[in-house]
Amino acid sequence: MDAQHIGIRVRHWRLKRNLSQRALAELAGFSQGYVAQIEAGMKPVDKRSVQVALAGALQVSVADLTGQPYDPQTVEHNLAARAVPAVRAALLSISLGDRRERGPSIEALRGPVATAAGLHNSCQYDGLVPRLPDLILDLYAAGDSAEALQMLTWTTYATTFAAKYLGYADLALLASQQCVQVAERLAEPAWRGVAEFALLHALPPETKDLASRRLRDAISSLEAASRDRPAAEAYGMLHLTAALFAAMRGRNGDAVTHLAEATDVADRSGEGNFAEMWFGPTNTVIWKIGVYAELGDGGRVIELPDVDVGQLGSRNRRATYFADMGRALAQTKRHDREALTYLLRAESIAPQRVRLSPPVREAVGAMLRRAKRTAGGRELQALATRLGTV
């Protein structure tokens, strides 16, 4: 089966389920014309709500539609993928209480954790993922001091997002579950908020009701502690997550409410970086762009003021800004040239992150097909090739 875009996989599973386009459209809550455009690759499936609806109608997982994890096409991706089994083994070991008898001291572990943080922020998964197995096991062996637990909470948090971005959904969920368990032993609201943030973003898209309940409870539990700076940053990140989840469910009013609350918290707290989350006014605007894209209202980004993302020490967040601006502009079908400029900038900042992003791959593929391939220009075709959408 051709794995170039989600529409091809939708058609594959539709035929496997012996469904007509009309039947699939009725089951998913769309028009037959929309499904036809998706299968033809003319409508990108870059909204998670659409992915969930199609997956549910076809009785498959969202991963079956996105095709993740993708086969490695670069040396960097291959190095990261080769380390995944060892990461899984390390997480399973600590989940079963299998502790190394002796490991490095806390003092000796501070440097490796700082190195991992740098690799996490720069989206260098080829350097980060191979380091994670020993780091996880060594931190678990370091005992139950507050510092050891904080470092292990953060390391499993970083593991969650590395696995998620590489497309290993099961590994991301396993890492986030360990993150929550370790944070619970800390009994510090801010770190519990970090762990909940990780878990919420690792839950399969199909578990939206469970995610909504956990998110509501997490926000409520952190509200009382949100006067504390670290807790306020975790609290703000949870509101940004709530805004995105509301957008995924088509609850525009709720999305706006959560964005407003996150903006208020960010304005009070200023730019921060507790647990490498980079919460503050700048990141709040970046999330707002992602919410607009999820709502299918990408044209609204034109109204936003310019954002100086250079002050953020995270290539992930800077690349996310340019990637989400690009795919939001691509939704308008009138700003493909500008969209391409943003997407190329995103790729230059964090290639390992951007090239593995299903929404970016969908947006670029749709742009290329709209341009009828040869009319799309060398830059667009080259980007599509690097992303694996042609």
Is the preceding peptide bond at 204 cis, omega within 30 degrees of 0? no
| Cα–Cα distance, 388 to 383 (Å, whole number) | 9
Alpha-carbon torsion angle 372, 378, 381, 387, nearest 10: -160
Q: pLDDT tens across 207-217, in order?
A: 888 999 999 99
CA dihedral 320, 323, 328, 330 (to 10 degrees): -170
Angle value at C-alpha 342, between 349 and 80, nearest 5 degrees:
35
- What pLDDT sits at residue 2? 39
pLDDT, one tens digit per residue, over 63-72 is 899 899 999 9
Give per-residue pLDDT as tens, 122-133: 999 999 999 999
pLDDT (tens digit per residue) in 283-336: 999 999 999 998 888 888 888 878 899 989 999 999 999 999 999 999 988 899
Report helix, strand or coil for 47: coil
Give how far Cα 390 sits from Cα of 2, 37, 107, Å: 10, 18, 49
Higher local confidence (pLDDT), 332 or 238: 238
Whole-model pTM: value is 0.93
Q: Is the pLDDT of residue 348 over 90?
A: yes
In our burial notation (b when 16+ CB lie closer than 10 A, e otherwise), range 276-302 reads: bbbbbbbbbbbbbbbbbbbbeebebbe
* Count of CB atoms situated within 10 Å of the CB of 216: 12
Q: How far is CA 52 from CA 145, 204, 366, in A?
A: 41, 10, 19
Amino acid residing at 253: G
Tokens 């109608």 belong to residue? 57
What are the tens digits of pLDDT across the range 172-200? 999 999 999 999 999 899 999 999 999 99
| Position 1 confidence tier, pLDDT thresholds 50, 70, 90 | very low
CATH class of the domain at 1-67: mainly alpha
Band (pLDDT 50/70/90 cuts) for residue 48 is confident
What single-letter DSSP state applies at residue 68? P
